[in-house]
Amino acid sequence: MKLIIAIVQDEDATRLISSLMDEGFSVTKLATTGGFLKAGNTTLLIGVEDDKKPACLSIIEKVCKSRKQIATSPVTLGGANGMYAPYPIEVTVGGATVFVLDIEEFLKI
């Protein structure tokens, strides 16, 4: 038995949950916040039998694609007492961070 912990962008979460549930996976959703862009993330907890792990990971990989996005990074102008100006930078967002843990027991009570 495995516990798959998938951290995905909020933008991908609804589609991923639907895809997983359509294939018979049970999903627990937790709202979380990322550290880099302070963007909303969703953490999914998915308990699966060992033989179902590849199918689950395949769905996550198919739905959660990486993509480029323009974000603003503050730049200081004029030294320590200067003003901050937004500076556009291109960053890669999306995809998923996935942890797979061995589980000794899984109960639905």
Report if residue 85 sits inside a domain: no
Q: Rounded to an integer, what distance in angstroms lies between the CA atom of residue 7 and that of residue 28?
A: 12
Q: Is the pLDDT of residue 79 over 70?
A: no
Per-residue pLDDT reduced to its tens digit, 83-108: 666 667 766 666 899 999 999 988 88
pLDDT digits over 35-62, tens only? 655 667 899 999 999 999 999 999 999 9
- Residue 60: CATH number of its domain: 3.30.70.120
Residue with tokens 């797979």: 100
Domain range spanning residue 13?
Answer: 2-66+94-102
Residue 44 lies in a domain: yes
In a domain, 50, yes or no: yes
Q: Please check whether residue 78 lies inside any domain of the structure.
A: no
Question: How many domains are contained in the chain?
Answer: 1
Q: Does residue 20 lie in a domain region? A: yes
Residue 55 lies in a domain: yes
DSSP single-letter state for residue 36:
S
Q: Tell me if 36 is assigned to some domain.
A: yes
Band the pLDDT of 77: cuts 50, 70, 90.
low
